[in-house]
Amino acid sequence: MDVLEALRTTGTCRYYTGEPVTDELLMEAFDAARFAPQGGNLQPVRWLVVRDRDKLKQLAEWYLEVWDVYVQQTTGPGGYLEGKPKTLKPADDFARALPDIPALVVVCFNPAALYATDRELDREPVVGGGSIYPTVQSFMLACRALGLGTAMTTLLVTREPQVKELLTIPEHVATAAHVAVGHPARPWPTKLTRRPVEKLVYADTYGTQLSSA
């Protein structure tokens, strides 16, 4: 698959068939993802594939609790999705179908292997994620090339202590995201809805548009 096509069509897949995801397909995607760039080539990411139905049911219950709070906050008065509840339907369908997804990949990492240069700044630190999320995106792109859909969520990270206990994740290991994986039940998108590139790119001074003309 052409890389640019994969980038333009790897949207969040929220509807899956009941077809199982084989170890062979997952391992091929993981094998490709490990070549993603990361600080110092320390490779902090580890993957935990959850397909046990009882464990998925418990994870889905925790997810739905967090999801319901998120919906209330974002669609209520003053929320950024106030008056647009229809936009949440696919995500709500996904949340309620989570116990039945073919596989849920827990993205684990070793915090000691991150060098977060923004820890002391007066804002939320994000730099450490630069050694994690490119690897996750590479995994999702590899899945797309193999005909698998994915949906990444970070909501379950709020329940990290319970998730770690359920899945016996070691104390020194943390979680960064969870990725649903399966065979899409709907056609691949041909065009994802995003802001025009002209609104996103600046030249030399923030706010000065960089033109492709």
In this structure, is residue 213 part of a structural domain?
no
Asked whether residue 148 is assigned to any structural domain, the reply reads yes
Measured CA to CA in angstroms, residue 28 lies from 43, 141, 157, 212 at distances of: 17, 12, 26, 36
- Name residues whose C-beta falls within 8 Å of residue 151's C-beta, 6 or more positions apart in sequence: 12, 13, 14, 94, 179, 180
pLDDT in tens, the chain (213 residues): 899 999 999 999 999 999 999 999 999 999 999 999 988 888 999 999 999 999 999 999 999 999 999 988 888 777 777 776 787 899 999 999 999 999 999 999 999 999 999 999 999 999 999 999 999 999 999 999 999 999 999 999 999 999 999 999 999 999 999 999 999 999 998 878 889 988 999 999 999 999 766
| Number of separate domains in the chain | 1
Distance CA 44, CA 33 (A): 12
Q: Is residue 209 part of a domain?
A: no
Query: Would the pTM of this model clear 0.85, i.e. be above it?
Result: yes
For 87, how many CA atoms within 13 A lie in the half-sphere containing its CB? 9
Does residue 36 lie in a domain region?
yes
Strands 149-153 and 103-109: unpaired
pLDDT, position 213 = 64
Residue 204 counted as domain residue: no
**Does residue 208 form part of some domain?**
no
In a domain, 205, yes or no: no
DSSP for 154-203, written as a single string: -GGGGGHHHHHHHTT--TT-EEEEEEEEE-BSSPPPSS-----GGGT-BS
Closest C-alpha to 188, from 5, 22, 25, 3: 5
Q: Looking at residue 88, which CATH number applies to its domain? A: 3.40.109.10
pLDDT at 85: 74
In the chain, beta strands by DSSP E: 45-50, 103-109, 149-153, 174-182
What are the phi and psi torsion angles at 157 (to 5°)?
Answer: -65, -25
Residues in Cβ contact with 31 at an 8 Å cutoff, skipping those fewer than 6 apart: none
Written as one letter, the residue type at 146 is L
Domain range for residue 80? Answer: 3-199
pLDDT at residue 88 in the model: 87
User: Does residue 20 fall inside a structural domain?
Assistant: yes
